[in-house]
Amino acid sequence: MKVKLKHLVALGILIIAAYLAYWYTIPSYPDIITPKPDFGNPDSPIKIIEFSDLQCPACAQAHPIAIQLLEEYGDDISFQFYHFPLRSIHAYAQKAAEGAECANDQGMMKEYIDAAFKNNNRLSTSDLKLYASALGMDDTFNDCLDSGAKAALVESDYRVGISKGVKATPTFFINDEKVEQVTLQSLRTRIEMLLASANA
């Protein structure tokens, strides 16, 4: 009986030590709140929001559409990127989204998103760190990613999407109206209509 008790005590000490070692090895990261960037003109009355998942193949295919819109209408539209990670089917989407917010703290969210979509079949944590390094981010990106500091921010975006009825990615809204058919032409048509109305 005494032997068993000693074994249980020793096991308990090992479990506690492992738990403490785990928590003390998680890097700390300051509670930085960097405003969500606007990739177009923040003062434009035409507001476009994209809800996206960085591991989603359809989102990767739609990303050039967003880039084209910004090239054509960058001065005339506001364009913001919201996270909607489909965590049940995309194992790396959550952490990839957190990485985007870590990149945002260094003013490189757009570049990070471009890199993530270009390599969206390789989004492990080590991959994300390599992309950040290649883009010239400093080592605080790694601390940010490992700390989980941006998980709540990603969840906040996700809940905004749920409140707007987002069920799949990518989903675009123009002036709070959901775009059912995400093609370059359908988005152009809607933007042109709004521009014409604004200039009438």
Q: How does pLDDT run across 90-126, given as a tens digit for each residue?
A: 999 999 999 999 999 999 999 999 999 999 999 999 9
Q: What is the mean pLDDT of residues 137-152?
A: 96
Kindly tell me if the per-residue pLDDT of 169 is higher than 50. yes
Average pLDDT over residues 159-165: 97
Unique residue bearing structure tokens 């990261």: 29
Q: Is the peptide bond before 170 cis (omega within 30 degrees of 0)?
A: yes
- The pLDDT of residue 7 is above 90: no
- What integer pLDDT is reported at residue 21 of this predicted model? 39
* Domain architecture of the chain: domains with CATH: 47-199 (3.40.30.10)
Which is more confident, 19 or 76?
A: 76
Minimal CA–CA distance to 39: which of 118, 112, 139?
112
Q: If pLDDT is split at 50, 70 and 90, which confidence band does 5 have?
A: low
Gap between the Cα atoms of 157 and 185, Å rounded: 27
pLDDT average, residue stretch 164-188: 94
- Confidence grade of residue 20 (pLDDT, cut at 50, 70, 90): very low
Percent of the residues in the chain that have a pLDDT greater than 90, as a whole number: 80
Give the pLDDT of residue 2: 52
Nearest to 158 by CA among 67, 80, 97, 89: 97
pLDDT tens readout for residues 70-80: 999 999 999 99
The two beta strands, 171-174 and 177-179, are antiparallel
* C-beta separation of 54 from 96 below 8 A: yes
Q: Would you place residue 198 in the very low, low, confident or very high pLDDT band (cuts 50, 70, 90)? A: confident
